[in-house]
Structure 1
Amino acid sequence: MRNFSQAGIDTGGHISGKIRTTCPKCKDTRTHPEDKSLSVDIDTGWCYCFHCEARFRVPDLEEERLRRQHLDRQRQEREAHAAAKRYVRPTFVEANLNLPAPIADYLTSRRGLSLRTLRELKVTGQYEIMPAATGNGANDPELCIGFNYFEDGRLVNTKFRTLQKGFKMVKGAELIPYNLDSLLGHSECYIVEGEIDALTLHEVGRTPVISVPAGGNTNSTWLDRFVESHFDDKKTIFLATDNDTNGLKMRHELMRRFGEERCRIVTFSPGCKDANEELLKHGRESLLRCLDAAAEPPIEGVVTANDMREELQALFENGLTRGAGTGLPNFDRLCTFETGRLLVVTGRPGDGKSEFVDELVTRLGMLHDWKTLFFSPENQPLALHQCKLIERIAGGKFRRSSGLEPQFVKQVMEWLSENIFHLQPGIEAYTLERVLHTARQMV
């Protein structure tokens, strides 16, 4: 049973078959709101609008119950995993909110931030022993800015930064987004690339803002624990990443995770790579105009050179970067890989297509932490496919007599459990829509 009315769909009393009705996604903005542009398959729940091209599925109540159970189980597993790691918890020292003069002067005069903002986001100043690479000896304490990372009001981590841009974080502490608690209770939020930019947006009144941990990179595993609690309720997510190669890559990854339909892209003035530069060079009103002018991602398939201005500038400055390699030198000279692509492997029966794909999957997983979902009905039972993958990684036959150490085999199996997944729906669920729906959930 599917609750179409909750999704805003009027089925006219029909309980099966395919019907046409008004689209809840675009009805309110239509010149002819009663136009029945939405095709609904009542049996499968799939809906498609021929006007706004919205495509979505209304789950049945049992599917929704199972989905919630799955999400609850995932949350419990993550919480148990975090507890098992026994992260270090630093102690917040209230007295460090009284910023030393050099730090207060740097953040106010050179970064355009007010003491009120620094106080509200609990920026501290203190002396820390920094790594020798920052310039001083390893045993010489240096004056540092403390960017404090809180979750539910509790200090989780601190990034220490010297005025000479030396960095370190608390060893053994968990890596979470900066200013995480600011997202709670808001339907919109901003994502930036550094703590200074998060402080900048707070300064101009855009307070639900986080900075991604560890700066601009495409590793989005930090999101996993916070998607449900901090992002599922967001109608709009503004991406104000740096205007450089890493920033563009991170923006692409965030859009992939959140869905392009929820994302808006913030573009700064020419010569400004981030929010703080915009504030310093052009002032508060200019920064607010940039934030208010955030645009939807371009419609797929319709682009101009102007739409690709940032990508072209990055190519001009840095050249074409290679994708993820496999570690096979001859092959990597011809082909590397990146996400968001469709790869078709074809050949005659017995040519080794499946073996080749297994090799790619295991190499990309081990070298680049790429995770894979297999839907491979011909590999039954699935235990045989798992055996092949174990043998490929372990370099020996999957049997005790082969000489493989049981402890090593156990480590391989643990790696497979965390990185390679197999879809095995019931026979009645072998449909393309079901497979792709599950794949989207796994992302």
Structure 2
Amino acid sequence: MQERTTCPECSPGRDKSNVRCMVRNGDLFYCHHCGYCSAQSPSIEIKSISMPEKIIEYFDKRGIGLEVLERNQIQWNGKEIIFPYIQGKRIVNAKYRDLDKKFRQEKDKKKIFYGLDDLVDQDTAIIVEGEIDKLSLEAVGYKNCVSVPDGAPAATAKTFNGKFDYIDNCIHCFDEIKKIIIAVDNDAPGYRLAQELIKRFGPDRCYVVDWQTYKDANHALKINEFDLIKCIDSAKPVPVEGVFTIDDISKDIDNLYNNDFESFSTGWPELDPYYNIAKRQFTVLTGIPMHGKSTWLDALTVNLAQNNDWKFAVFSPENQPIAQHAAQIAKCYMGKQFFKGFNNRMTPEELEKAKHWMKSRYYFILPPDDTLTIDHILSKAEVLVSRYGINGIVIDPYNELDHSRSKQYTETEYISCLLTKIRRFARKHNVHIWLVAHPTKMPKQINGNYGVPTPYDIAGSANFRNKPDNCICVWRDLTDESSAVDVYVQKVRFRHLGKVGSVKLGFDIATGRYI
């Protein structure tokens, strides 16, 4: 249970020694006054020499004076400028920059925001994209500023989740921050970084700087320091959900016009003309029991994780124990059998490789049976979005959720409300959600096959067809001994992402892979 208490590090020396400045939850703690915390890394030792005049002049030309350098403990080792990363008044990491703008950091040290201690006792934080930008803002009076440690991901990068580990390491330091001003670089990677920061910290307390013609904070400082102050003070709140102006969506319109929208391949080239995955969307997947829809969805998540570094929250109570579901994913990832008694079984070393790969890409949700409501599942997913930056959510299947409802709602009204919650969650949190739903009992045909179900065959409501962005059915011809499946794309809301149609995919039973 979380509690507030005094800090053993700073409270004894404060005038207000009784102020409960520390938040404690079990073995975890963080002081909002001095930054003392349970997650603190050991100090590192930096070897440096006296700062030469040429380096002082280097900063002075950029509008950064000696007083700012000294307060931030900027150092010089003879070849590189050293930016110490300080947490709780201790140096826990350092970045090195030579005069040719080549960077390096200490190896295997904790990643944190640069300038983190400057947020202690603050209710507003400014986030920039580089250490010099942080120093530039201090030069005009803003000490409550931090910099990301690794810059921004490339505008075209699809595998960049690992760049944001520092947010997980520092998220508790922002608990008392009410306003976050995002002042990253004015370019495509900076825009990408801003969107990720908004996603992690939540749009409600985020404001975004418009740099006008300037590239970044230091560029503005060098040209006109009053413009720098004006840009920061004029930061605009992230648009209110549901209210947009053309200015708000101008870049998105340009991206669509230039065919530069973000979508992701399924990993099966023959399926891509019909179905591409986009964030902020919602797919309903149906199919006859035992036709392979869950196995196909597992394979799809493996493709997205391998090719695009996606991370997934998975609620799949039918696949218990969870370890067995993880084994199925490991089998698909390695392309080898998992259990004893089969040929081509993965080795212990290959199993460890698979576990290491899954560790940062799959997070399983399985709350107690009495809390299996859609609201509870989405609340867990929201935590995973904030903490790990997940990109996709699997709810498999719909019928395992608790569907208790008030008598004032019909089943159709209840289902409409539930599907709307899922769709809104996907759009708000910039994720893709797959909902697996079984059809009603289908009549057998003369040849022993079942017909191909559609979303209209899912029990309860036509909203299973109307609400999602995409509808897919996985169907197997039981008279075909090849184990191939037909993937029917039955609805695609946006034509630039696919079209209605079907493809046949082969299935390798030994590996769980579709080919």
Tell me the TM-score normalized by structure 1. 0.69
Higher deviation after alignment, 382-391 or 248-257: 382-391
Q: SS of the counterpart of 2:282?
A: coil
State how far apart, in whole Å, the 2-side matches of 1:176 and 1:154 are.
12
Alignment deviations for residues 220-246 of structure 1 (CA, whole Å, 9 cap, x no partner): 221112111x11111111111112111
State how far apart, in whole Å, the 2-side matches of 1:121 and 1:310 are.
37
Structure 2 residue 126 is matched with structure 1 residue 190: yes
Offset, 1:214: 0.9
Structure 2 residue 55 is matched with structure 1 residue 119: no
Q: SS of the counterpart of 1:354?
A: helix
Question: Can you give the 5+ residue segments of structure 2 that lack an aligned partner in the other structure?
Answer: 1-23, 30-36, 154-159, 386-515
Letter in 2 for 1:300: E
Percentage of pairs with the same residue: 32
Higher deviation after alignment, 399-408 or 246-255: 399-408
1:212 match: 148
1:359 match: 299
State how far apart, in whole Å, the 2-side matches of 1:276 and 1:249 are.
20
1:222 match: 166
Offset, 1:324: 4.7
Residues 23-422 of structure 1 aligned to structure 2 (within 5 Å): 68=25, 90-93=44-47, 96=49, 98-109=50-61, 111-127=62-78, 143-217=79-153, 219-228=163-172, 230-269=173-212, 271-281=213-223, 283-309=224-250, 320=260, 322-325=262-265, 327-331=267-271, 337=277, 339=279, 341-349=280-288, 352-402=292-342, 403-422=345-364
Letter in 1 for 2:334: A
Offset, 1:337: 4.5
Q: SS of the counterpart of 1:306?
A: helix
* Contact 1:248–1:311 (8 Å) recurs in 2: no
1:45 match: none
* Contact 2:183–2:217 (8 Å) recurs in 1: yes
* Contact 2:27–2:38 (8 Å) recurs in 1: no
Letter in 2 for 1:272: Y
* Contact 2:266–2:275 (8 Å) recurs in 1: no
- The root-mean-square deviation of aligned C-alpha atoms, in Å, is 3.0
Offset, 1:414: 4.2
Q: SS of the counterpart of 2:298?
A: helix
Offset, 1:325: 4.6
Letter in 2 for 1:407: E
Offset, 1:172: 3.6
Letter in 2 for 1:209: C
Letter in 2 for 1:388: Q
Letter in 2 for 1:92: I
Distance 1:171 1:379, change over 3 A: closer
State how far apart, in whole Å, the 2-side matches of 1:433 and 1:152 are.
38
State how far apart, in whole Å, the 1-side matches of 2:310 and 2:203 are.
21
1:435 corresponds, among 344, 352, 377, to 377
Offset, 1:441: 1.8
* Contact 2:265–2:276 (8 Å) recurs in 1: yes
State how far apart, in whole Å, the 2-side matches of 1:407 and 1:79 are.
34
1:15 match: none
Distance 1:312 1:277, change over 3 A: farther
Distance 1:207 1:429, change over 3 A: same
Distance 1:432 1:151, change over 3 A: same
State how far apart, in whole Å, the 2-side matches of 1:303 and 1:245 are.
21
State how far apart, in whole Å, the 1-side matches of 2:185 and 2:259 are.
18
* Contact 1:387–1:398 (8 Å) recurs in 2: yes
Alignment deviations for residues 389-411 of structure 1 (CA, whole Å, 9 cap, x no partner): 12212322221233321232233
State how far apart, in whole Å, the 1-side matches of 2:288 and 2:308 are.
30
State how far apart, in whole Å, the 2-side matches of 1:248 and 1:388 are.
37
* Contact 1:180–1:210 (8 Å) recurs in 2: yes
Q: SS of the counterpart of 1:189?
A: strand
Offset, 1:356: 2.6
Tell me the TM-score normalized by structure 2. 0.60
Offset, 1:313: 7.0
Q: SS of the counterpart of 2:110?
A: coil
* Contact 1:322–1:336 (8 Å) recurs in 2: no
Offset, 1:428: 1.5
Q: SS of the counterpart of 1:374?
A: strand
Letter in 1 for 2:207: R
State how far apart, in whole Å, the 1-side matches of 2:300 and 2:318 are.
19
The size of the alignment, in residue pairs, is: 344
Q: SS of the counterpart of 2:285?
A: coil
Letter in 2 for 1:280: K
Alignment deviations for residues 129-187 of structure 1 (CA, whole Å, 9 cap, x no partner): xxxxxxxxxxxxxx322222122222222222222222222334333221111112211
Question: Can you give the 5+ residue segments of structure 1 that lack an aligned partner in the other structure?
Answer: 1-66, 73-77, 128-142
Distance 1:325 1:200, change over 3 A: farther
Distance 1:214 1:254, change over 3 A: same
* Contact 2:255–2:261 (8 Å) recurs in 1: no
2:367 match: 425
Letter in 1 for 2:244: V
* Contact 2:113–2:170 (8 Å) recurs in 1: no
State how far apart, in whole Å, the 2-side matches of 1:202 and 1:121 are.
10
Offset, 1:272: 0.6
State how far apart, in whole Å, the 1-side matches of 2:176 and 2:206 are.
13
Alignment deviations for residues 181-214 of structure 1 (CA, whole Å, 9 cap, x no partner): 1112211111000111100111111111111011
Offset, 1:292: 1.3
State how far apart, in whole Å, the 2-side matches of 1:421 and 1:69 are.
23
State how far apart, in whole Å, the 2-side matches of 1:259 and 1:432 are.
21
* Contact 1:243–1:310 (8 Å) recurs in 2: no
Letter in 1 for 2:132: I
Offset, 1:417: 4.1
